[in-house]
Amino acid sequence: MDNENAAWVDRPATRRLIRRVLYAACALLAVADFVVSRHIYTAIERVPAFYALYGFVALVGVVLAAKALRLIVRRDEEYYDR
């Protein structure tokens, strides 16, 4: 598929723009973490960028759990043809 017939979100320029906007939002939120005062309830929340790290670790955990679950619920390619 050439770029002229591609959906707007599949165009390289649009994908690059979306990626840059997301990077800028992440950078602004990381800077805001040092500027904005938070209501800290536990000692671990004092770690800089704690919520970003916590979210990343949670995402990795979900991906690993999905891979393990895939081994349990996976069907053969011919399953529906039988």
Residues 20, 49: one domain?
Answer: no
- State the total domains in the chain: 2
More confident residue, 6 or 50: 50
Identify whether residues 31 and 48 lie together within a single domain.
no
Determine the Cα–Cα distance for residues 50 and 44; give it in Å rounded to an integer: 8
Global pTM reads 0.61
The verdict on 24 and 12 lying in the same domain is yes
pLDDT-based confidence at residue 4 (cuts at 50, 70, 90): low
Report pLDDT for 2: 60
Cα torsion 55, 57, 63, 69: sign: negative
79 burial type by CB count under 10 A (0-12 exposed, 13-18 middle, 19+ buried): exposed
The answer on 54 and 31 residing in a single domain is no
